[in-house]
């Protein structure tokens, strides 16, 4: 497959600094949502890069540094639990991607966004469904976002060891749900995500 089809199409349209952007953490019951944007040098394919969900944690960690060293520019950005609760998870994910694209030290003049919806950007952009399996720059962004978020959840595990965040990264696994029922939620849980598990009585523990 041609990992650079979307980047090359944009370059043929006269764009020079083409970024890929993706997010991680829309589904978990806890923690912020993370996004990353990456501008790679023209015609660059990084060996081993793929959709972050298709890679082992060890492989993602290895590629994390390679992507950062290879990129012309990259940015990791976040949307907080409070923002997720106030504007909903989809809008919070869009906000994180907007922050990532706008936070690049080299300003992108075109953006490839994973998914079927675009954040509000002041540059031309294209939504690419399954873009993390089709575009090298989006796949690179997916790895930066996933690794950054996983590392944060491992840090939260030290503060809240009873929930097992280092294992499930906040996703709604059986272990996580059992811990929620036993201990109640903590300050990094997303209350709106807990109603099916805890009902409406989901006050912080």
Contact (CB, 8 A) for 154 and 57? no
Residues 136 and 167 in one domain: no
**What's the mean per-residue pLDDT of the chain?**
96
Residues 22 and 91 in one domain: yes
**Is residue 55 situated within a structural domain?**
yes
Residues 40 and 112 in one domain: yes
Query: Roughly what angle, to the nearest 10 degrees, separates helices 136-159 and 57-70?
Result: 120
Q: How much is the pLDDT for 119?
A: 98
- Is residue 202 pLDDT above 60, yes or no? no
CATH of the domain at 119: 3.30.420.10
Residues 169 and 143 in one domain: no
Domain of 192 in residue numbering reads as: 158-198
Residues 105 and 131 in one domain: yes
Distance CA 171, CA 45 (A): 31
**Is residue 11 situated within a structural domain?**
yes
**Is residue 205 situated within a structural domain?**
no
**Is residue 97 situated within a structural domain?**
yes
**Number of domains the chain contains:** 2
**Is residue 204 situated within a structural domain?**
no
Residues 132 and 187 in one domain: no
**Is residue 120 situated within a structural domain?**
yes
- Burial-class residue 132 by CB neighbours within 10 Å (0-12, 13-18, 19+): buried
- Is residue 203 pLDDT above 70, yes or no? no
**Is residue 114 situated within a structural domain?**
yes
**Is residue 16 situated within a structural domain?**
yes
Distance CA 115, CA 123 (A): 17
- pLDDT band, very low/low/confident/very high, at 205 (cuts 50, 70, 90): very low
Which pTM was predicted? Answer: 0.95
Residues 179 and 147 in one domain: no
Residues 170 and 96 in one domain: no
Contact (CB, 8 A) for 140 and 40? yes
Residues 93 and 188 in one domain: no
Residues 40 and 127 in one domain: yes
Please give the structure tokens belonging to residue 46.
Answer: 């990084």
Q: How much is the pLDDT for 201?
A: 53
Residues 138 and 189 in one domain: no
pLDDT digit string (tens) for 121-139? 999 999 999 999 999 999 9
Residues 138 and 187 in one domain: no
- Is residue 82 pLDDT above 80, yes or no? yes
Of the chain, the percentage scoring pLDDT greater than 90 comes to 93
């Amino acid at each position: 497959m041609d990992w650079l089809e979307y980047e090359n199409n944009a370059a043929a349209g006269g764009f020079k600094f083409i970024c890929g952007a993706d997010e991680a953490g829309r589904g978990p019951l806890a923690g912020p949502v993370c996004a990353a944007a990456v501008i790679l040098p023209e015609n660059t394919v990084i060996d081993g890069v793929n959709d972050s969900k298709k890679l082992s944690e060890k492989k993602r960690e290895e590629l994390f540094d390679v992507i950062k060293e290879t990129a012309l520019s990259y940015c990791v950005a976040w949307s907080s639990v409070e923002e997720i609760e106030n504007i909903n998870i989809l809008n919070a994910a869009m906000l994180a991607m907007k922050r990532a694209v706008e936070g690049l030290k080299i300003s992108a003049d075109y953006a490839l966004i994973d998914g079927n919806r675009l954040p509000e950007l002041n540059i031309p952009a294209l939504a690419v469904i399954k873009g993390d399996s089709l575009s090298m720059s989006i796949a690179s962004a997916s790895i930066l976002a996933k690794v950054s978020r996983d590392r944060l959840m491992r840090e939260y595990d030290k503060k809240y060891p009873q929930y097992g965040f280092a294992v499930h990264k906040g996703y709604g696994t059986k272990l996580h749900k059992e811990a929620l029922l036993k201990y109640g939620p903590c300050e990094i849980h997303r209350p709106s995500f807990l109603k099916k598990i805890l009902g409406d009585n989901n006050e912080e523990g």
